[in-house]
Amino acid sequence: MPITNDPQILSNWTRTFDTSNLGTRKLAFYQVSLDGDVGMAADYQDNDSVYYRMVRAIQEAAGGELYYLGEPQHQYGTPGTDYFIIGVADDAQPDYAYLEDTNTYTVVETDVNGWILIDQNELYVGAGIPLQFNTGVFGGIVPGKRYYARDFDWDGSQTWVQLSDTIEAKSADGTGDYPPNSYGIPGAPTQDFTSATGEEDITSYLYDIIWTGRAGDTQWSCCSDVIFKSIFAYRFMNAIQDAYIPEIGSADWAVIRCQVTDGVYPWYCCC
């Protein structure tokens, strides 16, 4: 039979493309991680193991539909971290809520190349986070304009922020269901500031975002990476917590949404 490019008769593997459908409902992948001291990876095949009880809590208490269940692995030496990956039917909708904060700060200094100095370190900034200046007109700051944090630095009591006029908006998992600017790559720094100081009412959009899906995905704004943000599956985590697994005790553990790469299997779990 001659070679053909007819998409109706080609084998699936010859015409794959980036997708999380894979012949099923849309899937989301999560990493469940736990302190290595607990021994989840070593004892996962035991009757009523910690691994078994965590998976059961996700399935039964939280209603997670597992399409993939990975074998626990160990990483980072002794005690290190044990983890496993699950693939879950993703019923998240694009409903979300922003955490917005508005406060008055003293802009101690404006400078060239888009830098401003704020008199305290309580203003959250992260790469790509929007900032809107609502009051003062000084140093070239435009009131009511939305800038984006391009770079930042804390010195213990003050915060330097470099501003950009633009951002290349992205979505947090590549599907388009996530809010615009939930992360992004800021453009060139704003160039038109001159040396000045004044009181400024600043609105910062922290982008703590909560989705409506089964996993209870919540994006945590503290992660300052330009591209990847920490997205915790709080509903899954609450189900595990409520299962009262005594071996976990005060150990560090989490359920974090993996984010897409250029391949089929998502690999990045920011933690």
Question: Which amino acid, one-letter code, is at 256?
Answer: I
pLDDT at res. 1? 42
183 and 252 assigned to the same domain = no
84 and 54 assigned to the same domain = yes
191 and 250 assigned to the same domain = no
196 and 227 assigned to the same domain = no
pLDDT at res. 77? 79
Tell whether 158 is covered by a domain: yes
Q: What is the mean pLDDT of the chain?
A: 77
At 13, is the pLDDT very low, low, confident or very high (cuts 50, 70, 90)?
Answer: very low
Residue 195 CB neighbours (<10 A): 11
Tell whether 128 is covered by a domain: yes
174 and 218 assigned to the same domain = no
Element (H, E) at 11: none
Point out the domain boundary residue: 207, 223, 246.
Answer: 207
58 and 78 assigned to the same domain = yes
Give the lowest-confidence range in 125-129, 134-138, 178-182.
178-182
Note whether 83 and 33 are within 8 A (CB): yes
Q: What is the pTM of this model?
A: 0.62
Domain that holds residue 242: 23-91+212-257
Tell whether 17 is covered by a domain: no
pLDDT at res. 73? 92
- Average pLDDT, integer, range 43-55: 95
Q: How many domains in the chain? A: 2
- Average pLDDT, integer, range 190-212: 77
Tell whether 8 is covered by a domain: no
- Average pLDDT, integer, range 233-245: 93
Sign of the torsion angle spanned by Cα atoms 186, 30, 90, 10: positive
Note whether 162 and 127 are within 8 A (CB): no
- Average pLDDT, integer, range 68-82: 89
CATH classification of the domain holding 228:
3.30.70
Note whether 152 and 114 are within 8 A (CB): no
β partners of residue 122: none
pLDDT at res. 148? 84
Element (H, E) at 56: helix 50-56
Residue 263 CB neighbours (<10 A): 9
**For the segment 142-182, what is each residue's pLDDT rounded down to a tens digit?**
888 888 888 888 877 888 899 998 877 654 444 444 444 44
CA distance 149 to 170: 15
pLDDT at res. 59? 94
27 and 52 assigned to the same domain = yes
At 48, is the pLDDT very low, low, confident or very high (cuts 50, 70, 90)?
Answer: very high
The number of helices, as runs of H, and strands, as runs of E, in the chain is 2, 16
